[in-house]
Amino acid sequence: MKKLGVLLVGILLVGLVAGCIGGKSTSTTSTTAQTSTTQPQTMTSSTSITNIPTTTTSSPSKTITQTKTQIQPKIYSREELLDNLRKIKQFTYLENVSVTLDVKIKQGNLTFNAGEVSITSKKVGYVDLINKESDINTTTTTFPDGATTFTREIIKDGEVYLYSNGVWKKLTNESFILPPEAVLNLTWGYNVVSFVEKYLQKEPFNKTIENGTQIFYYNVTTEDLTQLARFFIGFKDTNVTFNVSKGILEVKFRNGNLIGGRVAYNMEIKILTKDPQGRTVEVIETGREY
């Protein structure tokens, strides 16, 4: 259990590749006050005083009403979004993952509930799609025991290096985790930008706009889910099998740029092992990765 909890690391596809340009505009208004003074006039006669009536004419005032026009953000087509996405050659990203699994232990005809296991991880990475290089740091915590592990993975010159438990190792075909070729293929095929590009070429099953952000929703294929889960579980063990289903991908764009997204799917993992008496035990973990 603990080995699985430590090795089960998820993915969210959150790439941050948006830019912001700001400018200042200064407007000056000058107001001039005008004052008019009228001198009273009095006419005097030895015989009489004549009052001269005064007539005042006022000009009708003009009222100017200004209507502010709210500028709506541009709605980009998928073709335009794809063009912008394909311009991204290097990027950094932050990924947060949450996995919750209900654990059952089956022995013979008896099945026991073993409680719940939760796994959270934070991944900070840099990917260079031109030179095929990456540097990814992952911190994973498993509950209820609260054990935390840190790993760092570097890909350079077609080689994969992994730092774990204070030791650097170069991955080989004999490695406990996936062989280097599989890691490379998964990295370049399922990184944030490449994965989103693959689905953005398709018509989403739903799309919406929230506060100027365009959001697209896709059903993730079973093939892609299997590859993602294989990457997450990450080790070669004939005693471990898994099934994945109901994958949903949500992708967000603002001002034509990819700003992030989410992926979630159901997962079932089965592990065949032996108890201290040598009897076969099956551990079944079911839950949802987000």
Extents of the domains making up the chain: 74-287
3-state secondary structure of 199: helix
Helices (H) and strands (E) in the chain, counts: 5, 12
The model's pTM is 0.73
Q: Please tell me the number of Cα atoms within 13 Å of 55 on its side-chain side.
A: 1
DSSP assigned state of 16: E
* Cα(226)–Cα(238) distance, integer angstroms: 16
Contact 251, 259 (CB under 8 A): no
Structure-block tokens of residue 138:
């992952």
The neighbour count for residue 14, using CB atoms within 10 Å, is 19
Q: H or E element: which one contains 78? A: helix 78-85
Determine how many CB atoms are found less than 10 A away from the CB of residue 103.
19
Q: What is the C-alpha to C-alpha distance for residues 127 and 137, in angstroms, rounded to an integer?
A: 12
Phi and psi of 247, rounded to 5°?
A: -85, 130
pLDDT of 176: 65
What whole-number distance in Å separates Cα of residue 152 and Cα of residue 143? 21
Assigned token pair, 276: 């201290």
CATH architecture of 74-287: Clam (2.50)
- pLDDT at residue 160, rounded to an integer: 94
pLDDT along the chain (290 residues), means of 10: 36 31 31 35 37 45 56 89 97 94 91 92 96 96 92 95 94 80 90 96 96 96 88 70 93 96 93 86 90
Cβ–Cβ under 8 Å, residues 128 and 90: yes
Q: Are 226 and 238 in contact (CB under 8 A)?
A: no
Looking at the DSSP assignment, which residues form a beta bridge with residue 68? Answer: none
As a whole number of angstroms, the distance between CA 56 and CA 190 comes to: 83
Beta strand extents in the chain (DSSP E only): 15-16, 90-107, 110-128, 133-143, 147-156, 159-164, 167-170, 206-210, 213-220, 240-254, 257-274, 280-289
